[in-house]
Amino acid sequence: MSQKKKFCLLGISLIYFILNPLYVYSEGKLLITSDGTYNNTVDREADYGIEGSGGPNIVVTNSATLTATQYDGFFSCCAGTVEFDNSGTVTGIRNGIGQFGGTSNFVNTGGITATGSSDGQGIGIYNYGNGSINNSGTSSGREGIKHGSGSATIINSGTLTGSVIDINNDGTISSLTNSQGGSDTLTYDGKVPTNYKVIINSTTDFGKIDFSNETGSLTFAIDSSSTLSASTYASVLQNIADGNIGNEATWTNYNSTYKWRLVANGTDWDLEIANRRTAYTTRITGKLNKILEVLENINTNSSNTTLTTALDSLSDSSLEKVASQIEGVTIKSINGQSFKNHSTFKRAVSSALATPSVSSLTRNNYASLSLNDLNFNQSQNEYQMYSANSFDFKSMANIFKNKDLFSLKSKGSTLFFRTFADQTNQDKIGTDTGFESSTAGFLLGNQNNLTEDIEQGWSFGYSSNDTDFDENYGNSEANTLHAMIYQNQQYDNFILGLNLGTYISRTDMDREITDGSVQTLKSRIYNYGFDITADIKQSYQLENNFTFTPSFSTNLSYIIQDDLDESGGDLALSVKNDNLLIVKPEIGFALEKSFNQTDQVSKSLGFSVYGSYEEKLDGTTSKAKIKDTGSNFDIVDENKDDTFVTTGLGYTFLDKIDNTEYNFGVYYTQNDNNNLNSTLASFNYNKKF
């Protein structure tokens, strides 16, 4: 080639590079000043490892070693869009990688280090503008990443190490995804990311982040790349208040298998991951199956999403408890309570009249009490109003024709008045809650001895019952009016007794729902009861002034139960109650010791043991409906029968001259399941006119 042609080609090349200055090399530094793509495979060391400036859109891939002796391993200023992909090693003083202005997209699978120790230096990755940072390698310095302005997204599946802070945010991080945790929790300072996603690799390998100087609010989520197990992942968020978290404490579905929620743990937050929603009927089995079916239908039909969302967030134990509350376990507990209150009244009537024995209080201490345990050892009444050789209802009716019935001084007439109280404790049975029940009241009555062998009388009274259910299930208050008439007749070898009773009871109940959808449900019902008791007993005189008296009795009660209509919340029930029929037979004995018998006084000590069986023959199933949803179910009282054993010990003192009597006694009842007991301490005073 001629010399002239060589100079011509050189001139054309110079003109090309002047017009298109893509790369300029200076002291080992690569300066990028125009659009283009560059693959750097050459180790470089200069003030900047690679520098970009002006307004180009550039793409740089680095697989070599870039070392900055004064500033940044890679630096770009004022560019439009910069993409920097590093799989090599980048070392800077001020920044490992620095971008000012424009939009940057950094991908790091290698190592980035900033060695500066002064403020404004030692930043592994510095971004001032919009863009994204995806780090699966390492970035270290005084700060691992600093975002100075604009909006950015950050994915950290590698390691960020900052001697001061791992991520320092002065701008907006729209999304931060993080897997760094274990013993090297990611530290974060400044405005919290708008969205934070944790990466979970296993139950021991998952992201953790520790906040400081936090402002703003984040939404927590689990990254889709995660591998989950049903477990608790401790302290995924640290030192952040609930006001800076937008979705704490609520269950969120992750996929078709798992769900998750954040749970406060001091100043930290644990991530609970559970199997995705399981049907209520699958989570809880047994007696609550019917109400759980109703709740599951509500969930399926989305007729009360607020309720079912709250129920879904409960543990199995809490779900079982609230299902029992929703079903109306306390309603079942007061089924027949008016019958028990009336029994307390009848027992009090008996104790007001009985002498000398403790047996009258021991018998049916927790149920209907027959009233044949009266004193048949007194002298025959001189003034007879009626006599008969057989037991009949006519004799009982004729008592009301007697004008002396209300007399305080007529022969054979005893007017009595007393107060009474009773305490019952019922332990929890299965899903049925326990309760404590106390009854107190007063009564007035009159008895006439028609003959030496026949006693007839009447009584009426009032009682108030308070029942407190365990575990804050609620309470009830019942007020009851009682009335009864009775007759006892002695034959040659035995004694027959009969009494008829009736009552009306009003019950006000507060039913508490304590979990899920918290509310207090109120109701008022009226019950009307009728009962009849018949008994037979025989006394045997033993040596040393002992008297042995076996007896048998049967009580039949019928209670007309009012329907229930609750108010106070969306779980209020409408309940249609059937009438209740109860039968209760009883058998037992009394053993008495008489001593210090004179014409003036009589003293005796008594011990009694009685066993009884109670069965609800009808009325144990009620038709219930959650009013706001129209969902129907049955409230079934599973405790249809029970057996009781009662013991009593008492002392009686009788002043025959003054016709006064004192009785002291203690009594205890236990059922066969050892989940119910009743205690009574009694002092009685009788004065006969």
Rounded average pLDDT over 528-537: 89
Give the contacts of 666 (CB within 8 A, at least 6 positions apart): 648, 649, 650, 679, 680, 681, 682
Q: Is the pLDDT of residue 355 over 60?
A: no
The segment with the largest mean pLDDT, out of 315-319, 346-350, 639-643, is: 315-319
For the stretch 146-180, pLDDT in tens is 999 999 999 999 999 999 999 999 999 999 999 99
Which of 395-409, 449-463, 551-565, 661-675 shows the lowest mean pLDDT across its residues? 395-409
Q: State which H helix or E strand residue 297 sits in.
A: helix 289-301
For the stretch 311-341, pLDDT in tens is 888 888 889 888 888 888 888 777 777 887 8
Ramachandran region, residue 364 (left: φ > 0; alpha: ψ -120 to 50; beta: rest): left
Give the model's pLDDT for residue 359: 42
Picking from 453, 460, 351, the residue whose alpha carbon sits closest to that of residue 395 is: 453
Give the model's pLDDT for residue 28: 65
Give the model's pLDDT for residue 105: 94
Q: Is the pLDDT of residue 578 over 80?
A: yes
Output the pTM of the full model.
0.52
Phi, psi of 544 (to 5 degrees): 60, 35
- Give the span between the Cα atoms of 663 and 652, in whole angstroms: 4
Which of 59-63, 323-327, 666-670 shows the lowest mean pLDDT across its residues? 666-670
Other Cβ atoms less than 10 A from the Cβ of 472: the count is 11
Tokens for 135?
């780090």
Which residue type occupies 326?
Answer: I
426-456 as b/e: b if 16+ CB within 10 A: beeeebbbbbebebebebebbbbbbbebbbb
- Give the span between the Cα atoms of 521 and 553, in whole angstroms: 40
Give the model's pLDDT for residue 519: 93
Predicted confidence band at 55 (pLDDT cuts at 50, 70, 90)? low
Q: Is the pLDDT of residue 109 over 80?
A: yes
User: In angstroms, what CA-CA distances link 13 with 1, 2, 18, 22, 23?
Assistant: 17, 17, 9, 13, 14
Predicted confidence band at 566 (pLDDT cuts at 50, 70, 90)? very high
Helix axes 289-301, 316-327, angle to 10 degrees: 100
Q: Is the pLDDT of residue 181 over 50?
A: yes
The segment with the largest mean pLDDT, out of 67-71, 76-80, 255-259, is: 67-71
Look at strands 580-595 and 601-618 and give their pairing.
antiparallel
Q: Is the pLDDT of residue 688 over 70?
A: no
Phi, psi of 506 (to 5 degrees): -115, 130
Mean pLDDT for all residues in the chain: 81
Rounded average pLDDT over 228-248: 93
Predicted confidence band at 468 (pLDDT cuts at 50, 70, 90)? very high
For the stretch 415-426, pLDDT in tens is 878 777 777 777
